[in-house]
């Protein structure tokens, strides 16, 4: 599943309390799992959806094995009404006992069942949901103006139980035979090709799909609607993109990318893709939680994550679509062919797919410098990982509510950074050999982390891979490598980054470190709290050279004085490392805030576009802390002076032959300057906005989004209303959603209230409503949170059940008001115990922000007032 990094602040994951140093908490919560005395072998599921009434009839025949004598068969079921149930060989019908809290149904028999094979038949009915959980619908307007409804499924992490009664746990693999009754003219898509398509006398069709391989329940998929498919062969595999009728031209980029990636992964993993077809299915709308889902052989994407419109899409869109496809196709091996046994090892799926998306993208598009761009995600994880509420990558997951919270930046971004660090540590070839052996050994099975460690230890003897990996995966926190000049070179010691008092417990990691001098000399070694190292390097030394390690570097003042003036001569990756570390360590009190500000002042306007993009975003993040302070104008004057020369370099309009990253940096620089009230930028954006109202063809792609966002952020009521009219009139679903989100960017409280009211007015689609509220939270978290809580029952209907706590906590996480802590305490009391870590993280974020505002901004103010001295 592709977690929405763009909404990362709104989806703070559930966690257990911070643990000091070990792989498990002192007392892990009791895991809520199904009994193992009965095993499913094969499901035959038949469903008859009624899209108009939002219900469906279902029948499931489960071939199962009773392993040990028992009087009951317990499986998962939620939001289903069970009808007649029959077990082969049983004289009497079972009694059904529900456990709604654990989402189980027990079929209890009057006599004990002896070990052997049985068949359980169940009739049932279910609901078609508004939010992507179970079988859900997405409404849209067709090109001819008619209203249409598509049906899709979303089962990760625990919603297959809303589609049929089943063993809905990742460690239980079964064969699935799926059939669906559908109106004539509609296309049905599932994991496997169609095996049989019949039509009865009334015109109703029954489509039966070929049996799946043994797989986990959350990977099952069904879509039904007015679709069409574009396809090509990639060797023996039929690769297709399924879209709403009329959108096939937008699918070609995704189709081409998938064919490339499939061949690359076949080679890299050493095991060919095993299914006869691979479909990518596009659906209108969006989720607040994810953008795509790796169903085996039938990957689901929301439109914006897969379709490219030459008129509306940007360079960033093309990069993100390619990266998202690379992520989900990688899951066909890591996650589908080999699946984690339980959600505590979710990293085996998501960390690897997140790392592989970058590796594959860099292979095909080195000009994108994806390893530079991905540092932003790693930094989000490091900030989260150095304050209250963090959790280990491998964390205790007692139930499905906690499992939903594991889809976060710790699992995805810290996990992928750790994978990259291990690959660098043991070497690309050895690492790939280990992964290939792991895939071969465990294909069509389930694994735990130790299975992968065993494979990597075999290919890298003497490297202690399992020890290094366990340190980073089972221990929360961020290592701090301290560097100072010493006898014989640069002395490296290891500490822990503590952004707040909860992180001051001593911690040790065996940390692979690569250091380099500016003349090209290098050193590599493993540093831990128990084993400092001396790198035989002197002068200006870059620790974490290439930025492939998961740690922060704190340079002693004498080393910083040698390195910082050489910033312009460093490789772009190391420039990013210095920018990120100096700001984070300055805010945490380890280094002067002036270290970051001086780097920002001296950053050359001719730097790599990704470096300038990052600099703009880092300065914008500080500006957010200054909101409402009397010294904000002075800070903004400093920041605008730093960014204006870079913005002038790129200008407003694209240049022939410029790299994609230049276009992305242009949009960021102008957007940040607009947010900082640069008068020239705002004036130009307003001029171009008015021209666009008169002639929509005057703006396309990134230029269109840049202008509209700046105009919206600085809108008066007339501008806001004009933008609203354009949004509601848009015929493109993705563009309409984007235009609606711009209505949430204003600083005018009256316009913000209008945007919030629009979210629940019924004028917009259900999938856009929570997006607008979340967009408001970007600049007005308190207002957005109060509004959402005041309308909680209505907002809940727009959200997946397992992600609701994350959503509300995320709205509050950007607050600068201490009163929000009390509001979060009230929220915490209303959510499941296993999900309360999400609220704790939001509270930790607020406390950290308040601490930086109180203690670090005055230091920055003094430096600015002194003219940067």
Chunked mean pLDDT (size 10), the chain, 869 residues: 51 27 43 94 98 98 98 98 96 94 96 97 97 95 91 96 98 98 95 96 91 98 98 98 96 98 98 98 93 98 96 95 98 98 95 97 98 95 93 90 85 96 97 98 97 96 94 96 95 95 91 95 96 95 97 97 96 98 97 96 95 98 96 97 97 95 97 97 98 95 96 96 95 93 95 97 93 96 98 94 92 97 96 88 94 96 92
Give one DSSP letter per residue of 537-571, joined into a string. --SSEEETTTS-SSSEEEE-HHHHHHHGGGGGGS-
Tokens 């490296």 sit on residue: 492
Helix-helix angle 679-694:717-729, to 10 degrees: 40
Amino acid 8: pLDDT: 38
Q: Are 839 and 827 in contact (CB under 8 A)?
A: yes
Phi, psi of 137, rounded to the nearest 5 degrees: -120, 155
868: closest CA among 598, 480, 618? Answer: 598
Q: Are 565 and 593 in contact (CB under 8 A)?
A: no
Q: Are 795 and 788 in contact (CB under 8 A)?
A: yes
And the tokens for 92? 């009497």
Tokens 């805010």 sit on residue: 587
Residue 716: how many other CB atoms lie within 10 Å: 12
What dihedral do alpha carbons 482, 485, 488, 490 form, nearest 10°?
40
Angle at 846 between CA 842 and CA 847, to 5 degrees: 115
Query: In whole angstroms, what is the distance from residue 332 CA to residue 293 CA?
Result: 11
Query: In whole angstroms, what is the distance from residue 359 CA to residue 354 CA?
Result: 9
Amino acid 144: pLDDT: 86
Amino acid 28: pLDDT: 53
Q: How many residues does the chain have?
A: 869
Residue 729: how many other CB atoms lie within 10 Å: 9
Residues facing residue 80 across a β-bridge: 126
Catalytic annotation, residues: 328
The sign of the torsion formed by the CA atoms of 262, 263, 267, 273 equals: positive
Query: In whole angstroms, what is the distance from residue 526 CA to residue 146 CA?
Result: 63
Residue range 446-470, pLDDT digits in tens: 999 999 999 999 999 999 999 999 9
Angle at 695 between CA 694 and CA 699, to 5 degrees: 125
Phi, psi of 416, rounded to the nearest 5 degrees: -70, -30
Amino acid 130: pLDDT: 93
Amino acid 202: pLDDT: 82
The structure's pTM equals 0.95
Q: Are 677 and 685 in contact (CB under 8 A)?
A: no
807: closest CA among 2, 8, 162, 1? Answer: 8
């Amino acid at each position: 599943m592709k977690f929405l990094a763009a909404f990362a602040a709104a989806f703070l994951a559930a966690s257990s309390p911070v643990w000091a140093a070990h792989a498990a908490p002192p007392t892990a919560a009791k895991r809520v799992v199904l009994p193992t005395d009965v095993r499913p072998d094969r499901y035959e599921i038949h469903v008859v959806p009624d899209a108009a009434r939002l219900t469906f009839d279902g029948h499931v025949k489960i071939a199962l094995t009773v392993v040990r004598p028992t009087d009951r068969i317990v499986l998962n079921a939620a939001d289903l009404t069970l009808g007649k149930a029959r077990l082969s060989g049983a004289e009497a019908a079972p009694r059904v006992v529900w456990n709604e809290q654990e989402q189980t149904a027990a079929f209890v028999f009057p006599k004990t069942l002896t070990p052997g094979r049985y068949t359980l038949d169940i009739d049932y009915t279910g609901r078609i949901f508004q939010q992507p959980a179970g079988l859900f619908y997405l409404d849209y307007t067709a090109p001819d103006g008619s209203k249409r409804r598509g049906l899709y499924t979303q089962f990760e992490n625990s919603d297959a139980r809303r589609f049929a009664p089943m063993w809905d746990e990742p460690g239980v693999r079964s064969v699935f035979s799926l059939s669906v009754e559908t109106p004539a003219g509609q296309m049905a898509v599932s994991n496997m090709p169609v095996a049989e398509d019949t039509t009865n006398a009334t015109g109703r069709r029954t489509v039966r799909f070929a049996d799946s391989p043994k797989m986990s329940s959350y990977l099952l998929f069904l879509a039904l609607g007015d679709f069409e498919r574009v396809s090509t062969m990639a060797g023996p595999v039929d690769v297709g993109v399924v879209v709403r009728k009329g959108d096939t031209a937008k699918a070609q980029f995704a189709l081409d990318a998938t064919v490339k990636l499939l061949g690359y992964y076949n080679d890299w993993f050493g095991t060919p893709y095993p299914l006869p077809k691979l479909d990518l299915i596009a659906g209108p709308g969006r989720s607040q939680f994810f953008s795509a889902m790796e169903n085996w052989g039938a990957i689901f994407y929301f439109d914006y994550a897969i379709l490219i419109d030459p008129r509306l899409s940007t360079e960033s869109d093309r990069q993100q679509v390619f990266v998202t496809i690379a992520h989900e196709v990688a899951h066909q091996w890591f996650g589908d062919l080999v699946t984690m046994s339980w959600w505590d090892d979710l990293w085996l799926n998501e960390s690897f797919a997140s790392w592989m998306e970058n590796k594959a993208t860099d292979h095909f598009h080195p000009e994108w410098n994806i390893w530079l761009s991905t540092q932003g995600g790693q930094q989000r994880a490091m900030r989260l990982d150095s304050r209250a509420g963090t959790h280990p990558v491998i964390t205790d997951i007692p139930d499905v509510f906690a499992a939903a919270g594991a889809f976060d930046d710790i699992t995805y971004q810290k996990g992928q950074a750790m994978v990259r660090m291990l690959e660098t540590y043991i070497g690309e070839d050895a690492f790939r050999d280990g992964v290939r052996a792991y895939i071969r050994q465990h294909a069509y099975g389930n694994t735990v982390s130790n299975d992968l460690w065993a494979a990597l230890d075999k290919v890298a003897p003497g490297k202690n891979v399992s020890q290094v990996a366990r340190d980073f995966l089972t221990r929360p926190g961020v290592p701090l490598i301290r560097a100072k000049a010493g006898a014989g070179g640069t002395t490296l010691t290891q500490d822990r980054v503590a952004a707040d008092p909860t992180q001051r417990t001593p911690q040790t990691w065996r940390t692979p470190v690569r250091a380099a001098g500016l003349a090209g000399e290098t050193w590599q070694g493993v540093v831990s709290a128990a084993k400092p190292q001396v790198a035989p390097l002197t002068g200006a030394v870059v620790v974490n050279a290439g930025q492939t390690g998961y740690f922060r570097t704190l340079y002693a003042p004498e080393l910083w004085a040698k390195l910082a003036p050489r910033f312009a001569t460093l490789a772009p990756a190391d420039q990013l490392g210095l920018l990120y570390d100096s700001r984070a360590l300055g805010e945490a009190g380890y280094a002067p805030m002036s270290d970051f500000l001086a780097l920002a002042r001296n950053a050359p306007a001719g730097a790599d576009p990704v470096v300038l993009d990052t600099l703009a975003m880092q300065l914008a993040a500080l500006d957010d802390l200054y909101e409402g302070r009397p010294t904000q104008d002075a800070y903004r004057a400093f920041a605008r002076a730093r960014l204006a020369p870079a913005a002038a370099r790129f200008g407003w309009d694209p240049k022939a032959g410029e790299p994609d990253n230049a276009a992305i940096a242009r949009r960021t620089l102008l957007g940040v300057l607009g947010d900082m009230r640069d008068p020239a930028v705002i004036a130009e954006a307003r001029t171009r906005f008015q021209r666009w109202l008169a002639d929509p063809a005057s703006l396309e792609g990134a230029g269109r989004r840049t202008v509209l966002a700046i105009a919206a952020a600085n809108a008066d009521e007339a501008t806001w209303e004009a933008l609203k009219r354009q949004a509601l009139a848009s015929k493109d679903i993705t563009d309409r959603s984007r235009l609606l989100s711009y209505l949430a960017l204003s600083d005018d409280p009256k316009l913000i209230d209008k945007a919030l009211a629009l979210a629940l007015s019924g004028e917009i689609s259900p999938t856009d409503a929570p997006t607008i509220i979340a967009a408001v939270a970007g600049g007005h978290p308190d207002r957005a949170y109060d509004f959402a809580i005041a309308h909680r029952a209505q907002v809940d209907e727009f959200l997946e059940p397992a992600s609701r706590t994350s959503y509300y906590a995320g709205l509050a996480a950007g607050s600068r008001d201490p009163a929000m802590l009390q509001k979060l305490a009230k929220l915490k009391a209303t959510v499941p115990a296993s999900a309360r870590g999400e609220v704790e993280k939001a509270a930790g974020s607020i406390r950290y922000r308040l601490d930086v505002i109180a203690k670090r901004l005055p230091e920055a103010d003094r430096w600015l007032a002194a003219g940067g001295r």
